Structure 1
Amino acid sequence: MPTADELINAHTTDRLASVMAAAGAAPATAIHDCGPLLEGLTFSERVDAVKEAVLADLPDAYPAFAEVVRTALRDSAFTGWMTFPVNAAVGERALTRGVFEPALDLLAELTPLLTAEMAVRPFLRHDLSRALPAVLAWTRHPDEHVRRLASEGTRPRLPWAARLTRLVADPTPTLPVLDALYRDTSEYVRRSVANHLNDISRDHPSTAVATAARWLTDPAPTTTALVRHGLRTLVKNGHADALALLGHDPDVAVQVVGPEIRTPEVHIGEHLVFGYEVTNTSPRTLPLVIDYVVHHRKANGTLTPKVFKLTTRSLAAGERWSAVRRHSFRELSTRRYHLGVHRVELQINGQPHGSAEFTLGARPDAAPAGPSGSPDRHHERAACPRPATR
């Protein structure tokens, strides 16, 4: 993942200032001057800072503002991440001036440069019923980027964006959008539809399964793969109806050996290694979703499960499948590890099959542990003194 500095920096704002000045916002001093101020800011903070500069430099009235942006669209230098804050500026300027449909049209023009999925969300929050006709029209657009915008921009739980709480509570208003796109010729669009369906499944599993079942009654050659991706969270969670829809019987006749732990003590930064073996003991071919569950130790000593993919495959009658898995315990900003006994468990078609324990220890070069098993706080403070107050 590129860093914030690699996406939007002073070089980006210099180029954006030149483009906007040539498009009619001369001299674009606010955009140019904000570049040096971006140092140390997060990506979202950079977007907000450049957005405010765009709003300062471009005309206050929306029609003149939009004309400058459309002129910039004809400049080949207007491209990449410099367009992202402009998308945000379009939404803010339009909604504060009472402009709605024309601004959505402009965002559809902008989205092929770099997705405007974030910028359409304030319109959905402001007036969902008014925005949806424009979104539905996008599903018929000849450009795949605009068709994808219809699905991606309306995702209830779009990553890195504020949730659309009305659609989290009731996803049915956007089902016509997904119905229009699930057979799309573009894999780029279909991937978004699958991710949107997965968002729905997190809050309304029965709605997601019913929608997928309806699509499978009138499928394209690509529909089964789309549905499988869209129901992936339900499959990992062992949801019986989702598994049955995809042909995976939870009560399969299999013999399971393992997981057999090869690394009974793992240190942070290393890999857990385990083997497993699955044999089909039934007289027919079985389609299997084989996952594994790591039960991570929490601070209070209890365990919390997280499911990881192993394989999806069919085993003929009597066929045996065996493999070895390496699971990384490298340090992540999104997960805090707690030392002590953990557990790994196999999961086949959503059902548990065998488990084994292993111990997670500190990195060999880690700070000494205090009584709680976490690095000693006094040692941390001594090794990393705070800078002097200025």
Structure 2
Amino acid sequence: MSEPSFPALKEIFNHARLQHIATQITAVHADFDRQRFLAACGDGLEGLSLMARLRRVTACLHQGLPADYPQALAILRRLAPRLDNRFVTLILPEYVAMYGLDDFDLSMDTLRFFTPFGSSEFAVRPFLRQDQTRAIALMSAWAGDDNEHVRRLASEGSRPRLPWSFRLEALCADPSPMAPILTQLREDPSLYVRKSVANHLNDITKDHPDWVMDLLASWPLDRPFCAWIARHALRTLIKQGDRRALGLIGAGHVAQVSVGELSITPTDIQLGDSIRLAFRLSSTVAVPQRLVIDYRVHYVKKSGDTSAKVFKLKTLTLPAQGVMEITRTQIIRNFTTRIHYPGQHAVDILINGECLARGAFTLR
């Protein structure tokens, strides 16, 4: 499992939080050795990453719980509502993933119980990898659960490329076993669930774009929830200008527009400054048009070459002969995933996947 570097986030598991966990588990299991737990968890804590701390706490809990797995889970079920942070509750499904693979049914039922307190999305994945057919059968039932967290788990836990977790290689190779679950959730009343479905489908587009578009084409995309999922599921393909993906959201045609008065200000900036994009979009036809408007920045790399990144700007319907002013402000700053280098950065205005105007700014 890979993870971003978030120095502040790992402090969720600091010494004060360890004290809280020890207090709460002692309240539900009087035989728990509080001092042993705190000593083992706290040893070298500062040098551990977020996920390493989570696993350390889980392993130290295991040392203080009964060796009998069902008894240990009964204690952790009582602990779940007493923990004071949703991320901290991930120690509970992590316990199931680390110690429960030999008791499939009890473990999966326990993951379903734990997920409303935080999420079991990471912990369910070892069970999917161990017995995909059996796990998906259970997750199909979860997709019809009354609790939105359980329904989301059916989609989120089975994402082929879930961030911070390992890939589910079998589902990367063949996503078809997930089609019934994703279809069942396509009009879920919870936005929380629909976002997961969209992200799941976006994962699949990395390996099987046509499969995703075939599935979406079979959905009633005139219905608002399905249309919303389609737009977000296809976002990577839309940024790439994929004509079929654009067509599924009603923007597959060549835009009949002109882009005028493009300005990028200021034209010379320092790292940490903002740029402002502004242009006038004018229809050249007497019918309304569905338009997907993005912009692409060609970032200068250390080698002097460039690497392009597309940013969403607007999706809109431009009236017949309509005119619209479009603006966007962006701060140019470093991230863990992108370091900026001096030089001229070209900026393209993309409309329905085609570049219709270009400007530039220079980073000093």
State the partner residue of 1:201.
205
113, 116, 124: which is aligned to 1:120? 124
Deviations for 1:103-144, whole angstroms, at most 9, x for unmatched residues? 010011011111111111111122212211111111111111
Distance 1:52 1:30, change over 3 A: farther
State the partner residue of 1:71.
78
Query: 1:180 and 2:184 equivalent?
Result: yes
State the partner residue of 1:225.
228
Deviation at 1:61, TM superposition (A): 2.6
- Say which structure, 1 or 2, has more relative contact order (CA 8 Å, 6+ apart): 2
Structure 1 residue runs of 5 or longer lacking an equivalent are 362-390
User: Quick one: distance in 2 between partners of 1:141 and 1:2?
Assistant: 36
Query: 1:263 and 2:266 equivalent?
Result: yes
State the partner residue of 1:4.
9
Deviations for 1:204-253, whole angstroms, at most 9, x for unmatched residues? 11111111122226x65422112111211211111111111111034121
Task: Supply the AA of the counterpart residue of 1:64.
Answer: Q
User: Quick one: distance in 2 between partners of 1:82 and 1:340?
Assistant: 44
State the partner residue of 1:83.
89
User: Contact (CA 8 Å) 2:198, 2:230: kept in 1 or not?
Assistant: yes
Written as runs of structure 1 = structure 2, the 5 A alignment for 1:266-277 is 266-277=269-280
315, 318, 342: which is aligned to 2:318? 315
TM-score by length of 2: 0.92
Query: 1:105 and 2:112 equivalent?
Result: no
Task: Supply the AA of the counterpart residue of 2:263.
Answer: E
Deviation at 1:317, TM superposition (A): 1.5
Task: Supply the AA of the counterpart residue of 1:108.
Answer: R
User: Contact (CA 8 Å) 1:11, 1:35: kept in 2 or not?
Assistant: no
Partner SS for 1:216: coil
RMSD value, Cα: 2.0
User: Quick one: distance in 2 between partners of 1:350 and 1:31?
Assistant: 56
User: Contact (CA 8 Å) 2:24, 2:82: kept in 1 or not?
Assistant: no
Deviations for 1:253-302, whole angstroms, at most 9, x for unmatched residues? 11112532322212111122232121110120001111100011122222
State the partner residue of 1:301.
304
Partner SS for 1:118: coil
TM-score by length of 1: 0.86
Any runs of at least 4 consecutive aligned residues in structure 1 with deviations exceeding 4 A, and if so which? Answer: none
Distance 1:357 1:214, change over 3 A: same
51, 56, 67: which is aligned to 1:44? 51
Deviation at 1:51, TM superposition (A): 1.4
State the partner residue of 1:378.
none
Deviation at 1:4, TM superposition (A): 2.4
State the partner residue of 2:3.
none
Which structure has the larger Rg? Answer: 1
Task: Supply the AA of the counterpart residue of 2:226.
Answer: T
User: Quick one: distance in 2 between partners of 1:168 and 1:54?
Assistant: 34
Partner SS for 1:86: helix
Partner SS for 2:206: helix
Q: Across the two proteins, how many residue pairs are aligned to each other?
A: 357
User: Contact (CA 8 Å) 1:256, 1:277: kept in 2 or not?
Assistant: yes
6, 9, 18: which is aligned to 1:13? 18
User: Contact (CA 8 Å) 2:97, 2:124: kept in 1 or not?
Assistant: yes
User: Quick one: distance in 1 between partners of 2:135 and 2:98?
Assistant: 15
User: Quick one: distance in 1 between partners of 2:111 and 2:7?
Assistant: 24
Query: 1:340 and 2:346 equivalent?
Result: no
- Identity score, percent: 37
State the partner residue of 1:388.
none
Deviation at 1:30, TM superposition (A): 4.1
Task: Supply the AA of the counterpart residue of 1:39.
Answer: E
